[in-house]
């Protein structure tokens, strides 16, 4: 569990890590690869603060619960309380962008879906959300022009761009605030592009965020 967030400069961010509000199926191609329909409104679920861990220098995955899949996502860091906000208020509340993995116990998730049960056991387990250091929002000229990617053992696995989201990051932030109050230190994971797949102990990962971050880390058990 993370005790502090850090800017990419190394400085500590003075907000205690909070909950992680995640968005499912926010890229058409990812919904299609898993055989899911595109929802009519954002599909939301929550990971607790105990899910947060640092991407660097590495992170552990369970080895006794079936396949663990990576889902690479742009992450937003909330810097002020937000309730029932519009997009203008949402803009003012987000202070940083990072890159995160929504680790998923895919076999278990499929079992839960078949039983029409919630996904939390497959999505919200301890250390299921490795997250990077944060880049100030002011470093990005446009919220709709941010690219990110994941390589596993030198092989390109996922690449995404914020312009391809079904719901933009600001639309998501405002929509989430209609249901859950967002507090300083909360995160929003904005959905994953196509290319999700399994991770294994020993895998070497490289994650990139819009020429602002390049992260190397290793998967352990």
* Residue 37: predicted pLDDT: 75
In a domain, residue 213? The reply is yes
In a domain, residue 174? The reply is yes
* Residue 1: predicted pLDDT: 85
In a domain, residue 199? The reply is yes
Q: Can you tell me the distance from the alpha carbon of 114 to that of 103, in angstroms, rounded to the nearest whole number? A: 20
In a domain, residue 82? The reply is yes
Coil/strand/helix, residue 92: helix
Structure tokens at 189: 């994971």
Domain span at residue 79 reads 5-151+163-220
* Residue 203: predicted pLDDT: 98
Q: Tell me the mean pLDDT per 10 residues along the chain, length 221.
A: 94 97 86 72 96 97 96 98 97 98 97 94 98 98 97 97 95 97 98 96 98 97 89
When divided into structural domains, the chain yields a total of 1
CATH code: domain of residue 39: 3.90.850.10
In a domain, residue 156? The reply is no
| pTM greater than 0.85 (yes/no) | yes
In a domain, residue 28? The reply is yes
Q: Where are the beta strands (DSSP E) in the chain?
A: 5-6, 12-13, 20-24, 43-47, 52-54, 58-60, 68-70, 72-78, 94-101, 104-105, 129-131, 135-136, 147-152, 155-161, 187-189, 197-199, 204-209, 213-220
In a domain, residue 157? The reply is no
* Residue 39: predicted pLDDT: 78
């Amino acid at each position: 569990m993370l005790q502090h967030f850090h800017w990419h400069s190394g400085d500590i961010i003075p907000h205690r890590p909070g909950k992680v509000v995640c968005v499912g199926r926010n890229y058409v191609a990812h919904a299609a690869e898993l055989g899911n329909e595109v929802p009519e409104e954002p599909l939301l679920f929550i990971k607790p603060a105990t899910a947060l861990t640092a991407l660097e220098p590495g992170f552990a995955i369970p080895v006794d619960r079936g396949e663990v899949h990576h889902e690479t996502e742009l992450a937003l860091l909330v810097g002020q309380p937000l309730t029932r906000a519009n997009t203008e208020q949402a803009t003012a509340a987000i202070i940083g962008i990072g890159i995160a993995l929504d680790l998923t116990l895919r076999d278990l998730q499929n079992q839960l879906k078949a039983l029409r049960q919630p996904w939390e056991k497959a999505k919200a387990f301890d250390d299921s959300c490795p997250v990077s250091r944060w880049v100030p929002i002011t470093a990005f000229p446009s919220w709709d022009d941010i690219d990110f990617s994941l390589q596993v053992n030198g092989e390109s696995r996922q690449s995404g761009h914020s312009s391809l989201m079904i719901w933009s990051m600001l639309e998501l932030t405002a929509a989430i605030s209609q249901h859950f109050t967002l507090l300083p230190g909360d995160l929003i994971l904005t959905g994953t592009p196509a290319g999700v797949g399994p991770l294994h102990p020993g895998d070497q990962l490289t994650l990139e965020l819009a020429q602002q971050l390049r992260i190397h880390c290793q998967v352990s058990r």
